[in-house]
């Protein structure tokens, strides 16, 4: 039945027509309530994302306290992000099956349980297990808030929506080492879990009264076999990376886990194309716009993570400064990322993806190459400025490319698109970071943490990876603005 044209509702974000008239979060929800819902979810997810990098400033202390080297120490961060990526892959299926209000509350409860476990962990391995529990909660919340945010904006404003979510995805991990540096020097590293867990506990209570379901649900079977293949595949691959670091490149045993993981992932990928309800709809990657955007997001995530881990370690272990000093060194860059994310999102809406790819990759490469030449006596302001240059490049790429890629997908595939991007970004970011941090460690002793020569080599590798991303982006992203495909 035909409907008469409707006058745009001034309470809806912007004046553009709704992307989907039947979208549950839009239907009948006043602007004020929508703001409260998004704010509640964003605060909870912000804290969970903040946690992924907050132990970076504490790594030297934890390494000494538990008697582990830099390779094991950095697992407290990279394994968190790795697990977050694994869980994110399953969130699309969970969103389609369960009430999103309760899904969010359960995710936050799991995160609080992880914080409590970390407080009483008597050794390194139990602390690592507690971190994985926290990551499980964050892995559900992160794609969930992206789906909700995209549902309240039309496709031509996806850049703005992702700029807002960028405060969580980019800004939170970026300021983590700075915030934790102050907390560690004042109250010790366990204060991180007390404060974060308390804030999220309050968010859970607020969620009971302000959240509502924000998705349509279908009675689809959760593909447990696919989830197992995906998890086993990437876990084996990560174990293989760690085995190579421990046993050396010339030990055949080190490659067995990676081979098994690769086989599992190949079986997983083939299965996603033949079953009716795939865990991850990998056919989305056949869309060139989405596929290229995903590659660029992964490249950017590796550069962001490695820089956030290595620079504080450089300041503390090589220059011998405090956790607070290392946090202050990267604080301007972290603040800059929070400021630029909404701006670069609007630039995407206005000018398209190609200019942002050119500027972002170029700045990221330049900033990365400067780090190759840094010595032990370099002034703090040079480290801060160089880190800031890299962050500008990250801001031009991370959230704009997420928005650019998701805009190419049908509305029904938004949950799958955000799950794929979030999962790949976190998993490959963690694997890449683990490899590059091991390169950075070089022949350093556990008490030192990193090797200056290895530090430079690691940043050279990063520059090469970003250069590949630049070539791919400029080769396949058209000059003409193409934020929304013609057939969308």
Q: What is the pLDDT of residues 104-123, one digit of tens each?
A: 899 999 999 999 999 888 88
Which whole number is the average pLDDT over 311-315?
83
> Number of helices and strands (H, E) in the chain?
17, 0
Higher pLDDT, 444 or 424: 424
- Residue 214: what pLDDT? 61
- Number of neighbours of residue 135 by Cβ within 10 angstroms: 26
Output the CA–CA distances (angstroms, integers) from residue 111 to 77, 189, 334, in the order listed. Answer: 15, 17, 24
Q: Between 21 and 332, where is the model more confident?
A: 332
Over residues 228-284, the pLDDT tens digits come to: 998 888 888 888 877 776 676 777 887 888 899 999 999 999 999 988 888 888 999
User: For the chain, what is the mean pLDDT?
Assistant: 79
Phi, psi of 319 (to 5 degrees): -90, -10
d(CA 385, CA 408): 35
pLDDT class for 199, splitting at 50, 70, 90? Answer: very high
Asked if CATH classification 1.20.1250.20 holds for the domain at 31-212+277-476, the reply, yes or no, is: yes
Lowest mean pLDDT among 52-61, 305-314, 474-483: 474-483
Residue 444: pLDDT band (50, 70, 90) is low
| Helical spans, DSSP H, in 248-353 | 256-272, 288-313, 323-351
Q: Say if residue 471's pLDDT is above 90.
A: yes
CA distances from 23 to 165, 326, 363, 411 (A): 19, 45, 39, 10
Q: Given a cut of 60, is residue 447 above it in pLDDT?
A: no
Query: With bands split at pLDDT 50, 70 and 90, how would you rate the model's confidence at 219?
Result: low
Domain segments of the chain as ranges:
31-212+277-476, 224-276
DSSP code at position 353: S
- For helices 75-97 and 288-313, the axis angle rounded to 10 degrees is 150
Q: Are 181 and 61 in contact (CB under 8 A)?
A: no
Which pTM value belongs to this model? 0.74
**First-residue to last-residue Cα distance in the chain:** 22
Looking at residue 19, what is its pLDDT? 38
The percentage of the chain sitting over the pLDDT mark of 90, rounded to a whole number, equals: 21
């Amino acid at each position: 039945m035909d409907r008469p044209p409707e006058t745009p509702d001034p309470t809806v974000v912007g004046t553009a027509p709704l992307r989907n008239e039947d979208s549950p979060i839009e239907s009948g929800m006043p602007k004020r309530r929508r703001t409260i819902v998004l704010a509640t979810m964003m605060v909870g997810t912000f804290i969970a994302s903040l946690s992924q990098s907050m132990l970076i400033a504490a790594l030297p202390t934890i390494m000494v306290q538990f008697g582990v080297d830099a390779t094991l120490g950095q697992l407290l961060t990279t394994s968190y992000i790795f697990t977050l990526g694994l869980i994110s892959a399953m969130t699309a299926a969970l969103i389609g099956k369960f009430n999103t209000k309760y899904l969010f509350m359960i995710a936050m409860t799991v995160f609080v349980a992880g914080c409590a476990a970390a407080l009483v962990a008597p050794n390194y391995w139990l602390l690592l297990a507690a971190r994985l529990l926290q990551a499980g909660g964050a892995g559900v919340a992160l794609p969930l808030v992206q789906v909700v945010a995209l549902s309240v904006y039309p496709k031509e404003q996806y850049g703005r929506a992702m700029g807002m979510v960028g405060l969580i995805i980019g800004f939170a991990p970026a300021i983590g080492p700075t915030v934790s540096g102050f907390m560690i020097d004042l109250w010790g590293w366990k204060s991180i879990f007390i404060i974060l867990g308390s804030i999220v506990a309050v968010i859970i209570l607020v969620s009971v009264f302000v959240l509502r379901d924000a998705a349509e649900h279908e009675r689809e079977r959760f593909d447990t076999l696919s989830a197992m293949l995906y998890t086993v595949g990437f876990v084996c691959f990560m174990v293989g990376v760690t085995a190579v670091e421990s046993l050396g490149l010339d030990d055949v045993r080190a490659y067995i886990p990676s081979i098994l993981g690769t086989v599992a992932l190949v079986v997983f990928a083939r299965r996603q194309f033949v079953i009716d309800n795939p865990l991850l709809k990998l056919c989305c990657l056949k869309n060139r716009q989405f596929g290229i955007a995903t590659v660029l997001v992964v490249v950017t995530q590796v550069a962001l993570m490695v820089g956030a881990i290595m620079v504080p370690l450089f300041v503390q272990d090589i220059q011998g400064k405090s956790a607070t000093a290392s946090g202050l060194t990267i604080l301007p860059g972290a603040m800059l990322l929070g400021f630029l994310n909404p701006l670069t999102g609007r630039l995407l809406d206005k000018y398209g993806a190609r200019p942002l790819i050119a500027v972002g990759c170029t700045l990221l490469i330049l900033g990365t190459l400067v780090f190759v030449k840094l010595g032990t006596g370099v002034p703090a302001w040079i480290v801060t400025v160089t880190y800031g240059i890299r962050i500008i490049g990250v801001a031009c790429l991370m959230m704009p490319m997420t928005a650019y890629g998701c805009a190419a997908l049908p509305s029904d595939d938004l949950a799958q698109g955000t799950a794929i991007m979030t999962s790949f970004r976190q998993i490959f970011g963690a694997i890449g970071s683990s490899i590059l941090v091991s390169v950075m460690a070089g022949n350093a002793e556990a008490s030192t943490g990193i090797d200056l020569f290895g530090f430079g080599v690691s940043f050279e590798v990063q520059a090469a990876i970003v250069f590949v991303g630049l070539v791919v982006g400029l080769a396949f992203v058209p000059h003409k603005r193409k934020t929304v495909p013609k057939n969308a």
